[in-house]
Amino acid sequence: MKTATIPELIEDIRNGKMIILVDNEDRENEGDLIVAAQYCTPDKINFMATYGKGLICIAMTQERLQELGLPLMVPENSDKFCTAFTVSVDAKEGTTTGISAYDRAKTVHVLIDPRTKPQDLNKPGHIFPLAAKKGGVLVRAGHTEGSLDLTRLAGLYPAAVMCEILNDDGTMARRPDLDKFAEKHNLKIGTIEDLIKFRQHKERLVHRVSEAHLPTEYGDFTI
């Protein structure tokens, strides 16, 4: 399966399509299904649960999670890659047990609704928020940051629903398996490594914040 370019992934994310994002072999070596949170539907949740088979999470900004009063799941993170889970949640209104595809999609939309307050959420629940590092993949080369970067680059609300892809036998799907999965379900597949390169090439990473006059015996300089 041909690896999609980052602009191709951005276009699909912008149009509400699901994509597969893969990290490096020397990291988790996993592929996640990714969809922009604002385009999350019960059908997309059901697809993730049925075919992805992993844990369905939502990547969000630290600021939004603080607004919602969602603390980190544990005070000391001992995970190898420091995946920043908060406490899990369900929408308090408009859901039943919280686990159905409809209920989980509802919870996603409640999380990104600017009117939502902490009291509108039940804790614990069946959607698992993840706090993305500021700076995105340039700071942490994870699926959490990668998915959030893609929504930002697409001009969408900065939140993405994600789910790891497992094989039918329950093992983790690696790149050859992920290529077959992408082809079978007509999904584009791209890499976090390419996203890092894309951002490094496209963005101005150094900004002048101040300058000063420096007189020396060799002349005056501005620094």
Mean of the pLDDT values across residues 204-213? 59
Q: Which residues of 63-80 are buried (b: 16+ CB within 10 A; e: fewer)?
A: ebbeebebeebeeeeeee
pLDDT at 209: 55
Give pTM, 2 decimals.
0.89
**Per-residue pLDDT at 27 exceeds 90:** no
pLDDT digits (tens, 9 = 90+) for 210-223: 666 677 766 666 76
Q: Residue 79: name the closest of 99, 61, 101, 55 by CA.
A: 55
CA gap 63, 51 in Å, rounded: 32
pLDDT at 216: 74
CA gap 166, 28 in Å, rounded: 13
Mean of the pLDDT values across residues 82-107? 97
Neighbours of 106 (CB within 10 A): 22
**Per-residue pLDDT at 181 exceeds 90:** yes
% of the chain surpassing 90 pLDDT: 82
pLDDT at 188: 98
**Per-residue pLDDT at 151 exceeds 90:** yes
% of the chain surpassing 70 pLDDT: 91
CATH of domain 6-222: 3.90.870.10
Is residue 42 very low, low, confident or very high in pLDDT (cuts 50, 70, 90)?
Answer: very high
Domain residue extents for the chain: 6-222
